[in-house]
Amino acid sequence: MLTRREALLGSVLTAAAVAVVGAAPAMAGAKAQNVAGLPREKVTLVAPPFVHPHDQVAKGGPKVVEFTMKIEEKPLVIDTDGTQLNAMTYNGSIPGPLMIVHEGDYLELTLINPDTNTLAHNIDFHAATGGLGGGALTLINPGEQVTLRFKATRTGTFVYHCAPGGAMIPWHVVSGMSGAVMILPRDGLKDDKGKPVRYDRIYYIGENDFYIPRDEQGKFKKYDSAGDNYDDTVKVMRGLIPTHVVFNGKAGSLTGENAMKAKVGETVLIVHSQANRDTRPHLIGGHGDFVWEQGKFANPPAKDLETWFIRGGSAGAALYTFLQPGVYAYVNHNLIEAVELGATAHFTVEGKWDDDLMMQVEAPKAVAS
């Protein structure tokens, strides 16, 4: 155990040291001093699918928005059979929380790696510029913390993930270490014609592919710690066929009592991230009214989509106004992944049924002879 841990830390530190050399000078600079005069706001993060309170249209000028995330290594159950993942998490959840700022704001994250953890971690923000997305400046050992600030220069939804160097990168990501940032235009979202659009609710769905090793009998193996599973897990990862494809860390995490809720007439923004692998969300019985497939709000949204494509390593956003009550399934429309591997969520939508949109003209009966 101890040997394994030392080996992992060793390889991580080497990779990080190389990166830090090039990135360190970027810390200084005249512009950074201007930031000192900006107003600051502290935001408390909430676990997905929920999102911290935020303004859709920015009030006032740019500010520094402060977030804190604690990294937690802990076993998590990822399906109804009790299969266990030695998870690595940002703030205890898979995915990590969605962080929202506006264009021109500064996102300032304090990342804490408690000494109860066994591995070194960092964070690579796809929204950030330079320094390996911040990865080069944030590598921390158990018992350390670090604060990184980056300027939100481009609008959109962006993935963040752990990237502690070399073979550690994909392993940390498929152990749960990813999340998303949303950078809103200061004047809010706009439709394809530039007309402002708003949402009544927002949900954040992080999709994960997991690669759990099996024993000789074909049963999923359990490991005492993350380090113990590394060799076996990499073998499964190299096959590129996940054993689980799930939303929010577990098959069924967004169903039943935890199904997402909406009302007829409400507009919902669904942010969907996948840090590692392509996916294709589809709302069964609904649509994407306006979809930023690539997640970048400088591009006009696509309209009336049936299914949208989220590239591995990106986050997208879909805006939909529910028109009909009922139970909706939100799936990865590779239906094998949805049904067999776990990528299914539900919406329960209350409201008045519209016969004009749909009705059963005649109930099932024997074929007329």
Partner 1 sequence: MSFDPVFTFGTIAAAALIGLGVNHAIDGTLSRSRVPMALAELVTLAPGSFEHPRPGEFLKDNHPAPAPVAKEIIDKPLEIMKFQVTASDYDRCVSDGACKPADSRLAGNVPATGVSFLDAQAYANWLSAKTGETWRLPTDIEWAYVAAERFRADIEAGDGDPADPARRWLTLYRNESALGRKADPEPRPLGAFGANSKGVADVAGNVWEWTSTCYVHATMSGGAVASSVSNCGVHVVEGFHRTYMSNFIRDGKSGGCAVGTPPDNLGFRLVHDRSFLRAALRRLGLT
Is 52 annotated among the ligand-binding residues? no
Nearest to 199 by CA among 270, 287, 297: 270
Residue 121 bears catalytic tag = yes
Q: Which is nearer to partner 1, 32 or 241 (CB)?
A: 241
CB neighbour list of residue 210: distance below 8 Å, 6 or more residues apart: 78, 85, 174, 242, 243, 244, 245, 246
DSSP character for 302? E
Which residues pair with residue 107 across a beta bridge?
A: 65, 150
The answer to whether the CB of 138 falls within 8 A of the CB of 111 is: yes
Active site residue 41: no
The yes or no reply on residue 18 touching partner 1 (CB under 8 A) is no
> Nearer Cβ to partner 1, position 193 or 365?
365
Sign (positive/negative) of CA torsion 282, 256, 262, 299? negative
- Contact between 32 and partner 1 by CB under 8 A: the answer reads no
> Which member of 69, 162, 182, 260 is catalytic?
162
Binding flag, residue 362, partner 1 (CB under 8 A): yes
Q: Which residue has the tokens 């070194």?
A: 120
Q: How far is the CB of 320 from partner 1 (least distance, A)?
A: 16
282 counts as catalytic: yes
Alpha-carbon dihedral of residues 146, 2, 211, 222, nearest 10 degrees? -120
Q: Which is nearer to partner 1, 3 or 217 (CB)?
A: 217
- When binding is defined by CB under 8 A, the residue of 25, 37, 194, 256 that contacts partner 1 is 256
Q: CB–CB of 238/95 below 8 Å?
A: no
| Identity of the residue, 72 or 79, whose beta carbon is nearer to partner 1 in the bound complex | 79
What is the residue type of 185?
Answer: P
Spatial neighbors of 215 by CB under 8 A, at least 6 apart, are: 221
177 has binding-site annotation: yes
Question: Does residue 324 belong to the site contacting partner 1 (CB under 8 A)?
Answer: yes
| Selected binder of partner 1 within 68, 225, 321, 348 (CB under 8 A) | 348
Range 214-233, binding partner 1 (CB under 8 A): 217-219
Would you count residue 329 as binding partner 1 (CB under 8 A)?
A: yes
Number of helices (H), then strands (E), belonging to the chain: the values are 5, 19
Does 335 sit near partner 1 (CB under 8 A)? no
Residue 131 CA, distance from chain mean position = 21
Task: State yes or no: is 103 an active-site residue.
Answer: no
Rounded Cα–Cα distance for residues 280 and 306 (Å): 10
Question: Contacts with partner 1 in 70-109 (CB under 8 A)?
Answer: 80-82
Considering the rule CB under 8 A, would residue 357 count as an interface residue with partner 1?
no
How many other C-beta atoms lie within 10 A of the C-beta of residue 313?
Answer: 17
Which residue has tokens 């993060």?
45
Q: In the bound complex, what is the minimum distance in angstroms from residue 365's beta carbon to partner 1?
A: 6
Q: Does 365 bind partner 1 (CB under 8 A)?
A: yes
What token pair was written down for 175?
A: 């152990």
124 is catalytic: yes
Numbered residues of the known binding site for Cu cation: 121, 126, 161-162, 172, 177, 333
Chain residues that interact with partner 1, rule: CB under 8 A = 80-82, 217-219, 255-257, 259, 324-327, 329, 339-340, 346, 348-353, 355, 360, 362-366
Tell me which residues are annotated as active site. 121, 124, 126, 161-162, 172, 177, 282, 306-307, 333
